[in-house]
Amino acid sequence: MKHCIVIGGGIIGLCSAYYLQKEGHQVTVIDKSNFSSGASYVNAGYITPSHFIPLAAPGMINKGIKWMFNSSSPFYIKPRLNSDFLKWTWAFKKSATASKVEKAIPVIKDINILSRDLYEDIKASKDFNFHYERKGLLMCYKSDKVGEEEWEIGKRGITEGLGVKNLTKKEVAILEPNANLNIKGAIYYDSDAHMTPSDFMSEMLNYLKVRGVIFYANEEVKDLEILNGSISKIITNNQELEADEVVLAAGSWSPLLTKKLGLQIPIQAGKGYRININRETGISIPAILCEAKVAVTPMQGFTRFAGTMEIAEINHKINLTRVEAIANAAKSFYNNLDILEVEKALADCGLRPCSPDGLPYIGKSSKCNNLTIATGHAMMGWSLGPATGKLVSEIISDKKTSLNLHAFHPDRRF
């Protein structure tokens, strides 16, 4: 049995704690918040084998440059003369090639399917009773051009073994009769599932507390002491802690700590927004509104609209133009659906840790013997929570990992 400290109490941190305690390890989780906020609480709640194309894909650089001048665009990069940002941008550019995307596709698909299966295992256990539904995902489009692009991806999904259909507007209406969609058609993936994030997070927290996992809330890790290539001490704003193994699952804040080890893991914070509607919408199947890049999820008692990727440093400022863009997309794609001013006023945001190549960092760096890194999941953090946690526990328990970790190596070059 090892004493493990997990830095970060989001979905990745809690899932790491879950699988570590199942292996019999003693676990402590530290988080700079009070375990009730952040990207793990405001995301779309998707489990997405359908999202097998990484963010760093051919054409994204050109789109990003074009969208840079549009404050309501789905993908926005704030240009700045910062060395970390410039290195990340250069690595993103080098990753956005057809050959690199080709290599990433099966890797992303496989870890998503592993994670979906693990969510279903957790759900099937008698210890949990959270909202989880596998109803698939509709990629809804308004123009023939976007429809053709999405179907090309869909056909690749079929090649990868996923169940994918190209649906007409009438066929979508049969699947989703009460949503009143204003679209030309949709690509339907039967592989995907969805959840209510806050529901799962609170259940997992309670489960772990009952089983002796220690939690330190509102505690920020200020420094790491290194001795003979290992972390010997974790220094927070309140105390000093020692552990056999350390898991770094601090999301967008992770590079602030890896730099103390002389380890560079390129990450930029990608801000996403969400609006909740606590009234009947008629929406029963999750959908991506393709042209607007907005995700729609029917959750437990409400519908969530989430979207945008805003790479503009670590901050939680609400950009009202982006909130308005999400509301406009809802109105455009769903007839008679107006998001009210009071609902927009309660919009929230979270920061997703984006690696340059669209693959997370999972594993040990050669720079530190007792540190396992688990971050950089971008928009798939929720989807990949259990798979990452399982892999972390296998690494620390010296077991054969469920997946080959080569593509996720923290020391990989871009």
389/394 Cα distance (integer angstroms): 9
**Per the domain annotation, does 36 fall within a domain?**
yes
Structural tokens at position 318: 């609400």
C-alpha of 157 from chain center: 20
**Per the domain annotation, does 300 fall within a domain?**
yes
Q: Domain span at residue 265?
A: 3-408
Percent of the chain with pLDDT over 90: 87
The pLDDT confidence band at residue 391, using thresholds 50, 70 and 90, is: very high
Q: Which of 235, 258, 287 is nearest to 365 (CA)?
A: 258
**Per the domain annotation, does 370 fall within a domain?**
yes
CATH code of 140's domain: 3.50.50.60
**Per the domain annotation, does 414 fall within a domain?**
no
> CA 225, 231, 233, 235 torsion: positive or negative?
positive
Helix or strand holding residue 214 (H, E): strand 214-216
**Per the domain annotation, does 160 fall within a domain?**
yes
260/201 Cα distance (integer angstroms): 30
Q: How many domains does the chain have?
A: 1
305/27 Cα distance (integer angstroms): 35
Asked if the model's pLDDT at residue 71 lies above 70, the reply is no
**Per the domain annotation, does 413 fall within a domain?**
no
Helices 197-210 and 11-22, axial angle in degrees (round to 10):
30
User: In this predicted model, what pLDDT tens digit does every residue of 177-235 receive, in sequence order?
Assistant: 999 999 999 999 999 999 999 999 999 999 999 999 999 999 999 999 999 999 999 99
403/373 Cα distance (integer angstroms): 16
98/76 Cα distance (integer angstroms): 22
**Per the domain annotation, does 111 fall within a domain?**
yes
Residue type (1 letter), 110 = D
Residue type (1 letter), 358 = G
Phi-psi region of 281 (alpha: psi -120 to 50; beta: other; left: phi over 0): alpha
DSSP, res 229: T
350/284 Cα distance (integer angstroms): 24
The pLDDT mean for the chain works out to: 94
CA angle 95-118-160, nearest 5°? 45
**Per the domain annotation, does 159 fall within a domain?**
yes
Question: pTM for the whole thing?
Answer: 0.96
User: In this predicted model, what pLDDT tens digit does every residue of 106-144 receive, in sequence order?
Assistant: 999 999 999 999 999 999 998 999 999 999 999 999 999
Strand locations in 278-346 (E): 287-289, 294-299, 302-311
